[in-house]
Amino acid sequence: MKHIISILIENEAGALSRVAGLFSARGYNIESLTVAVTEDPSLSRMTLVTRGSEDVIEQITKQLNKLIDVVKLIDLAESVHIERELMMVKIKTTGQSREEIRSMADIFRGKILDVTPTSYVVEMTGPSSKLDAFIAAIAPDSLIEVVRSGATGISRGEQGLHL
């Protein structure tokens, strides 16, 4: 099962490589990883998407917690949460297909950021599955480039991940 693990980690050089190193050393897989500084400049927030059995996820969270730089973490899959990913897609498009792509972007609530006579760049956010669906709806030979940020997430309700 897919798990989104949110981590508050000391904003220090090497902290990211401790997390990445842990995953490679112990043979866990990382589907995506995003990291940026928080409103408290001493902390970074990392969102890590991984898959594994319950036992593996339990080990992953324990091993992450064991890293001295990790301050706190939660597995978002354990509660109701919102998941978002940002994607930009460059699509080859001329003549008739231009209208088609535009309406497709509308259906998926995407925005067209860049237009040339032969291409569009479409921006889209949503759960990763929605972005997958958009890609699947576009003819593969018209895709020039796909850039995805990896998922981030936040829990619903008043509770939050902070110190």
Partner 1 sequence: MELNGAQIVIQSLKDEGVEYIFGYPGGAVLHLYDAIFQQDDVKHILVRHEQGATHAADGYARATGKPGVVLVTSGPGATNAVTGIATAYMDSIPMVIISGQVPSPVIGSDAFQEVDMVGITRPCVKHNFLVKDVSKLAETIKKAFHVATTGRPGPVVIDIPKDITDPRIKVSYKYPKKVTIRSYNPEVNGDKEQIKKAVELLLTAQKPIIYSGGGVVLGEASKELINFAQTLGFPVTNTLMGLGAYPATDKQFVGMLGMHGTYEANMAMHESDVIIAIGARFDDRVTGKLDEFCPYAQIIHIDVDPASISKTVKVAIPVVGDVKPVLKQMLELIKDSKKKPSKKALESWWNQIDQWRAVQCLEYDRESRLIKPQYVIEQLYQVTKGEAYVTSDVGQHQMWAAQYYPFDKPRRWINSGGLGTMGFGLPAAIGVKLAFPDSDVACVTGDASIQMCIQELSTALQYKTPVKIINLNNSYMGMVRQWQEFSYESRYSHSYMDTIPEFVKLAEAYGHVGMRVDKPEDVRPALEEAFAMKDRTVFMDILTDRTENVYPMIESGKGHHDMTLRVAPGTSTDRELA
Closest CB to partner 1 among 54 and 141? 54
Closest CB to partner 1 among 111 and 162? 162
For the four alpha carbons of 59, 62, 65 and 68, in that order, the dihedral sign comes to: negative
* Helices 15-25 + 54-66 axis angle, to 10: 140
In whole angstroms, what is the distance from residue 118 CA to residue 42 CA? 45
Residue identified by tokens 């706190």 is: 72
CB of 11: closest distance to partner 1 in angstroms?
A: 12
For the four alpha carbons of 12, 14, 17 and 18, in that order, the dihedral sign comes to: negative
Taking CB under 8 A as the criterion, the residue among 4, 5, 49, 70 binding partner 1 is 70
CB of 65: closest distance to partner 1 in angstroms?
A: 7
* 162 makes contact with partner 1 (CB under 8 A): no
Taking CB under 8 A as the criterion, the residue among 2, 37, 58, 145 binding partner 1 is 58
Closest CB to partner 1 among 64 and 101? 64
Q: 9 and 77 in contact (C-beta within 8 Å)?
A: no
Closest CB to partner 1 among 34 and 63? 63
* 55 makes contact with partner 1 (CB under 8 A): yes
